Structure 1
C-alpha cells in the first residue's frame, strides 16, 4: 500500500532537493501558516477535541496555546538557531588561521506520527520543530480521534502546499504503509509497543528517530511535604485528560507518618475539582475507547478503593479512583495505568523506595514533594527518568526551554525549544582553513619530526 503515499513523499523529496526549505523565509512562512491555521479555526479545533473524548475547555485551549508558544519561540529565535556555531579547536590550528564551525542543516522529509491523548499538541509540536529546522513534513494524526483527524485532513491542504506539509489519515494499515517509505527522519509519539514497530521499520532505511513513549511515573510525598500543595497537584496531574497523559503521576509513595492525612486531603482535592459525581463534571474527560475503559477499570481493587471505583464501559467513563493502601503487587502497579486509577503506597525509608524504583523500567517522568533538600537531591541523583518536577507535577512539559523526552523504554531523543531544533537538524561539523594554509600530515614520514607534525592538534 506504500505506493498510495509514494507520490506525496516523492513530491516533498523533490522539493527538498532544491534547497528551498533551507531558507529563513520558507521556515518563517511555514510557521506563520501553522499559526493562522490554529487561530482561524480555534473554535473548531476545540469542538473536535470535545467530540472525540470530552476534553474540557482548559484542556482544549492548552492544545492550541502550547503550539502557539512554540511557534513564537522559533519565530523569535530562528536567526540565532540557524546561525553557524563557532567551536573551539586546538590552539596550534587556530593560530594558523583555521577555525571550527557547526552548521545545522535539515534532515529532509520527516514523518510525524501523533497520539490520541493530545492529538493537536503532540502532532504539531514536533511538526513545528521540524519546519523551523527546514524539514518538509508528512503528518499522521491518531485515528482514534476521528473528528480531530478529519479537521487536519480538511485544513492542512488549505494552508500548506503538499510539498511542504501533507497529512495522511487512517489506522494500522496506513501507518504500516507509510513506514515502508525511506523517510529522512521519523518522530513518533505513542505506546512503547508501537514504538518498537516504528524503530524496526526505521532500521530498514537507517532513518533516525525520536520516540516519545511513556511509563508508570513515580511520585514521592515525604514527611516534610506540604500535603495540601501535594494533594492539589496530584489530584489535577493524575486526572487531567482522564489520566491519559504520558507524564501523569502513575502511583504515589507516601511516608507512613503522613499517609493517612495525605489520602484524606487528596480525596478532598479530587472531590473539590470534579464534584461528588465526576461523570457530570464538565472538567473531566472520557477514556478514548471502550477497550481502554475496561482495561483501566480492571485495575480497581474494591477492598482498597477509598474514593471512586465506578466505571461505565459503554460511556467510556472511569471515575477518579484512589487505591489505598496499595502494594507493589497490585494490578495497577504492573504497567502504565493511563487512566484515572491511582495506587497509593506507604513507605518508611526513602532509600527502600529508590532501590525498588531502580528495578523498574525508566519512566518518562518522576515527581517528589518535600522540603528536605537532601532527600530531594538523593531522589534526583539516584533515579533515571526523562524529566519531572519538584513540588509540582506535569508542568515541566509546558516550558520550551526544558528539553522534553524519555529515556530507555520511555523513549529516546529530546525536543522543545532549542533542543527540538537541534534534534531535527543534522549538526554538520566543519574545519575551515584559509586557502594558503597547509597542515602537514602527509607521507613519507621517514626523516620527519612526527611530534612536530602532531603538535598543531594537541
Structure 2
C-alpha cells in the first residue's frame, strides 16, 4: 500500500515515467534552477489534435508562458501561430506554425513550422527548412532546409535528402530507390548512437559535411524533408542542444526541455503493440511520419491540393519522353499506345480535377425535416488520411497516377507502390516522382510481394489495389485485419457478343484493336467472343484482314505490336495455344517474349483458356445456339469487369445490357469507353469493388461526413423530445421528423 501510494503521488507530481514504469531520476539542483528560471509560468501540456480552423483564416498568434501544444494549420488561430507570427516564452509543450513565422525563447518542447520562417532566441533545439537551424543535444525535424543534431540519442529520419549518423548504435532503414531530389530508400549507415535513422530515396552517410545529416549520441528525433542536415563544422549545417523542434520552409527553434517524439501523435501504430511493429516493420516510421503530417492539416487547403496536382502535371510534361522510353523498354510499348493510354489519359484526369476541385470540395447541403428547419445540415467532404495505392505492371503509369490524382484532390497523404515487374518504369517513378511532389505528404515504395506484405501490416485509412482477383483476396485479407476500407480493381473474362445482324468488318476492326492493344495485357480487353457458328464463319475472315492491316504479314516485325512482360506470363499464354483450333496466328518466340495475334476457333467450355482470364494476345471464339444461350452462359460465370455487344440492331445491344451484369458495358466498341472521365470505372463481384475516374476518384478517397449544426438557443422547441414522455409529445415529434409519401394528403 505504501508503495502504491508513493506511485500515485509520483504520478500526480509528474515524477513517474509511465512508459518505463519507474520514478523519474532526481534532477540535479543546477538543472532545476535553470528550468525554474527558463520555464516560469509553465502549465500542463495540452493536446489539440482535432482542431482544424477554416481555410480562409489568417493572422497572427502568440503565447507566453504556455506549456501546452500549439499547432497551426493553414489559416488563423489564436493559439496556433498559423499564417502569421507566433512566439512562446517559457513553454514546455509543442508549438507549430504554418505559413508564417514562429519564434520561441526559453521554450522546452517541440516547435513545428510549415511554409514559414520560425526563429528562436536563446534556444537549444532548432530545426529549419529552407533555412538553417542550430541546436545541440536535441531532436528536430526539417523540411527543405538544413538541420543537425549533436549529442542526442533518438531518431533521425531524412526524406528527400541525405542523412548520416556518427557515433550511433541504433537502427537505420532505407526504402528502395535513389533520388537527388527526394529521400526514399538510400544507403543507411550508422555507428554508435542509441536511436534510429530512416532515409527514403536518399543516401545516408556518416558525419556532417554540407548536405548530410549527422548525429552523435543524440536523444530525440530529427527528420529532414527535401533538404540537408549536417553536424557542426560544415557550411550551412545545424546542431542541436537539449530540445526538440520541427520546421518546414523556415527556421524554428525551442530550447531546454521535454523531448517529444512523433509517436506522441495519435497513431494506429501505438495500438496493439505498435512499438514492436515500429521496430520490426521497415515501413512503420514512414507511415507514422505521413500520418503526423496529415494530422497537421497540411493537405486540407484547396491551394495545397491544386499545387500538388500542378506538380504532377509538370512531371507528365517534363518527363514525357522518359516515361515513354521506360514503357518501351519494359514491354516494347509503341509510343502511340503509351501516349494515348498512359500519359495523355493521366494528364486529362489531372486537368479535370483542377477544373472542378473547388466544386467537388464544397459542402453539400441536404434537405431537412421540420425538426431541423432552423439548423444547418450538410455533407462535409473529408479526406480519409493516409492511403496506399498499389498498381500492376500492364499500365504502370495510368493505374498508379490516376488513383493518385483522386487521392491528392481529396486531401490525403499517399504512399504509391508501382509494379516491380515493369522495372524500368518503376525505377523512373521512384526516382523522378518525389522530385515533384511534397515528400512530407507523398512517398514511393518499391519492391515485390514481400515488401507489399510488410507494408500492409501497417494500418492505413484506405487501400486502392489494381491487379488479379487472386492477389485481390490477399489484399482484402490484410485490410480486414484493420477494418480498412478499400477499392479493388480486378479483372475477369470479359465477354464480347457478336450478333448475326452486324457490320462484321467494322466489328472486327474494333475487336482486334481492343484485344491486341498492349499485346492483350489490358484488363478491359475482350477476353472471348461468343456467337453462333454462322457468325463465327463470317467474322473470321474479317478478323484476319484486320490483323493483317494493323500489324502486317509478320506482326513480330511490326513496331506497333508490344511484348509480354516476362517469361512466366509467356509460358502461361503459350500453353493456351493447345486449346481449340488455331485459326489465325499461333506463332511464338520465347526469347522475344512474343506471341502473335492469335484467334482460336472451336473452343470448348471446359478448356483451360475458358477457365481463367487470358490477359494476352489470344482471342478464343466460343459458339452458342442463339442470343438467349449466350446470355445464359455469361450469367453462369463470374461477373466480368466489362461486357461488349456488337449488333446493328439496337434492341439486341440493349437486351444484352438489360439481361447481364458487369462492372461496365459498351455497345459496338471496346476499350474506348474508358477514356471518358465522366463515367465510373470499376468492377462488380469477382471483378472488383469500388469505382474511380474523374469525380468518382475524388469520391473514392473522400469520407462523406454528415454534419448538423444548430444554435444553443431556442430550447423550448426541444422540450417535445424530453421526458416526461406523453402521447401528445410523441405525436408532435413524429409529425416533425416523419417523411411523408409524395402525392399523399393527410387531413388534420
TM-score, normalized by the shorter chain, greater than 0.5? yes
CA drift of 1:218 comes to 0.1
Deviates more, 1:24-33 or 1:251-260: 251-260
* Structure 1 match to 2:724: 444
Q: Among 282, 292, 308, which residue is 1:14 paired with? A: 292
CA drift of 1:374 comes to 2.3
Q: Which has the higher contact order (CA 8 A, sep 6+)?
A: 1
Q: Distance in 2 between matches of 1:97 and 1:403?
A: 36
Q: Distance in 2 between matches of 1:200 and 1:363?
A: 22
Q: Among 366, 369, 375, which residue is 2:646 paired with? A: 369
Matched, 1:205 2:511: no
Report if the CA contact (8 A) 1:8-1:163 is conserved: no
Matched, 1:82 2:323: no
Report if the CA contact (8 A) 1:362-1:410 is conserved: yes
* Structure 2 match to 1:387: 664
Report if the CA contact (8 A) 1:116-1:142 is conserved: yes
Residues 289 and 2 of structure 1, relative CA distance in 2, 3 Å threshold: farther
Q: Among 393, 398, 403, which residue is 1:116 paired with? A: 393
Matched, 1:399 2:676: yes
* Structure 2 match to 1:282: 559
Q: What does residue range 12-411 of structure 1 map to in structure 2 within 5 Å? A: 12-62=290-340, 63-90=342-369, 92-93=370-371, 96-301=373-578, 304-411=581-688
CA drift of 1:8 comes to 1.8
CA drift of 1:254 comes to 2.2
Which secondary structure does the structure 1 equivalent of 2:636 belong to? coil
Report if the CA contact (8 A) 1:93-1:99 is conserved: no
CA drift of 1:431 comes to 2.5
Report the aligned-residue RMSD: 1.5
Q: Distance in 2 between matches of 1:49 and 1:294?
A: 22
Report if the CA contact (8 A) 1:388-1:394 is conserved: no
Return the TM-score normalized by structure 1: 0.97
Q: Point out the structure with the larger helix share.
A: 1
Report if the CA contact (8 A) 2:580-2:602 is conserved: no
Report if the CA contact (8 A) 1:2-1:181 is conserved: no
CA drift of 1:259 comes to 2.1
Report if the CA contact (8 A) 1:323-1:343 is conserved: yes
CA drift of 1:371 comes to 2.1
**Equivalent residues, number:** 456
Report if the CA contact (8 A) 1:301-1:323 is conserved: no
Report if the CA contact (8 A) 1:8-1:162 is conserved: no
Q: Deviations over 1:248-303 (max 9, x none)?
A: 00000123333211111011101111111111111111111111111111111376
Q: Among 682, 696, 702, which residue is 1:419 paired with? A: 696
Report if the CA contact (8 A) 1:387-1:396 is conserved: no
Return the TM-score normalized by structure 2: 0.60
Which secondary structure does the structure 1 equivalent of 2:602 belong to? strand
Residues 164 and 448 of structure 1, relative CA distance in 2, 3 Å threshold: same
Q: Deviations over 1:364-416 (max 9, x none)?
A: 01100112222222211111111121100011111100000000011000011
CA drift of 1:226 comes to 1.6
Report if the CA contact (8 A) 2:580-2:603 is conserved: no
Which secondary structure does the structure 2 equivalent of 1:249 belong to? coil
Q: Distance in 2 between matches of 1:278 and 1:126?
A: 34
Please identify the structure whose Cα radius of gyration is greater: 2
Report if the CA contact (8 A) 1:93-1:456 is conserved: yes
Report if the CA contact (8 A) 1:2-1:180 is conserved: no
Report if the CA contact (8 A) 1:113-1:189 is conserved: yes
Q: Deviations over 1:178-228 (max 9, x none)?
A: 100101111000111111111111111111100000001000010112211
Consecutive aligned runs of 4 or more in structure 1 exceeding 6 Å deviation: none
Q: What 5-or-longer segments of structure 1 have no aligned partner?
A: none
